[in-house]
Amino acid sequence: MVKKRNLQKIKFLVMALVIFSAMSINTFSAPKEVKKLEWKQISLEPDLDGDGIKDKIDVDYAVEGNNVHLKFTPYVFNEKAKFAKGKSVEKIITKTEFEAKFDTFIKGFIAEYPKKGGISSAQKQKTQTPKPEKKQEVTQPIKEIKTNETDKKPVSQKKNTNDSKGNPKNSQTIENKPTEISKQSNMEKAQSSIIEKEKKENELREKEPKETVEVPKNKNLPRGQYSYVKEFNAQRPKNLTFSFQYDKHSPKEMDEFVFVKTPTSIRKEPNSNAKAIKSAAYSHKYRTTGIVKTNTGKSDEWYEVFFDNQLGYIPKSAVEKREFDWNDMMRKVDKTNKFIKEAVSANKKIYVLDDYVPLGGGESGKRDKFGNRANQSEFGYTDKSFKDYINIPDRTIMVVEEENDKYVKVKIDAYDNGTYYLKPSTRRFLKDAGITSEITRFIYVDRASQNEMIIEKNGNSWNVVTSSFVTTGKDAGNSFATPYGTFLIAYSKPVMSYTGSGGGVVGDARYAVRFSGGGYMHGIPSVFEPKNTREQRKAATAKKIGTYPESHKCIRHYDDQIKFIYDWLGNSTPGHSEGLRVPNVPTVMLVK
């Protein structure tokens, strides 16, 4: 009886919570064979095989007229710490019968599922032996949990204890009665609300233009049994969709990951003596769910990673935490467009700093508070005394707040939305940016994580066009870090040539997009000679993409990735005498 009540409590609690949370999950495209249906999914976590450990049932459902189509797919957590997929069962329930039949079917599905002892719960009830046998049923799962606790996270259970009078008691069982009734009521409400929600969504959908964009959900990964120092579960922005136009190099489900900087092993438990389950080579990347403490009682910490449908642990000292920071990207997009809208509504012209001389660059100077050097930039002073300053890179967008024969006061969104003073001689470098409304295309570059995301406006939301790992500039010697800021893309060209010390062209990179000074987005660079090793040298350079900054200022891409971006930007200046292609619409790069 205790086991049965515990199972019911777990089932009702998890179902109620999961179904309620599923009410806000975005829809995704239906399978090809059922094109007209919009499928959604919820997940339940009952103990299917009777071993006292949580398993999983994915419930896919779609509403068609008066019918609710359902597909139940079981996953049993096995001895290898993996979910083993079972046979799916499909069912159709009418809306009027949904509330009662859904609950009945789930209970029966769990009860009839094959147990580890080779007999289902329903069969056990029919063949139950006298009371002494029942006591063994209660204690046996507790023993099994102890033997498997290193592989699987057990469902919490409490042993029976005696009160002061020697009578058996179980506080969990006693407290379950009112709680269980409450949870069941909530579950019923959640079930019926599925249909009500579908009705409202269908009404709204008829009024709105149809979209073909597929929106992936944030998937909740399994969690380990160890104490978390920090958990990672960032949620993607609600106004961002992921209908990639080019995804050959776009990592999926890698919003938060670790980059392996020192070769090591991924282990089954967070300690160096645990079994190694995978070799982690330099530059490998794994999705992470959090940082955990070692289970040896010491102070060292490990990253919990998810790969090959299983959890593993990797030493914190061997990796770096990185991310595809969709939320920061959208904050910067909104901030930039707010800056532009306010300027346009106040009839202020948007300017861009146009201070680029090919093969020039000026002094390197010291870094300012934003980390930018003076290379191919102008000083923006913090006040009229012209003492303290920041370096304003070429292609930075700004508005003029005030100007006279002593100074030009500008406001720059990228640099703390602050005001800076330019000397009158710098005024000639300010050119009309041609921006008269909000920006609808952005390129976001994260220098710390060595990646790039590209988005464009799609109605009232934004869509991810492509994403990829990249290589940014290294601040050392004659090289410069890719500048931080907000830059208006200048133009693109099919090839960027490299000159040698003698002035002649010695190498090139394909498909170059200029964003600031001599900083370009481009393909894999290489010198022409020796010809017989050029492809091998390019391949070696490509392998470094997504590792550490290494370029002279530019942003390196895989050749096919930058070719897609080059085409996506378009060409509003066909027939240009130098073959330069200005983007079809103003496009802004945000460098983090």
Catalytic residues: 522, 554
Residue 4 DSSP label: H
Using DSSP's 3-state secondary structure scheme, residue 491 falls into strand
Closest listed residue to residue 457, CA positions, set 336, 295, 301, 288: 336
| Six token digits for residue 239 | 């106004």
CA 446/CA 99 separation, integer angstroms? 48
Q: Is-contact 509 524, C-beta < 8 A?
A: yes
**Is the peptide bond preceding residue 141 cis, with omega within 30 degrees of 0?**
no
Bridge partners of 538, per DSSP, are: none
Q: Angle 95-112/171-207 helices, nearest 10 degrees?
A: 140
Determine how many CB atoms are found less than 10 A away from the CB of residue 5. Answer: 15
**Would you say the C-alpha torsion 498, 504, 506, 510 has a positive or negative sign?**
positive
CA 314/CA 84 separation, integer angstroms? 24
Closest listed residue to residue 523, CA positions, set 571, 452, 471: 471
CA 510/CA 558 separation, integer angstroms? 10
DSSP per-residue string spanning 335-395:
HHHHHHHHHHHTTPPEEEE----TT---------TTS--STTEEEEESSTT--SEEEEETT
Q: Where are the beta strands (DSSP E) in 14-132?
A: 40-44, 56-64, 67-77, 83-85, 89-94
**Would you say the C-alpha torsion 509, 510, 514, 515 has a positive or negative sign?**
negative
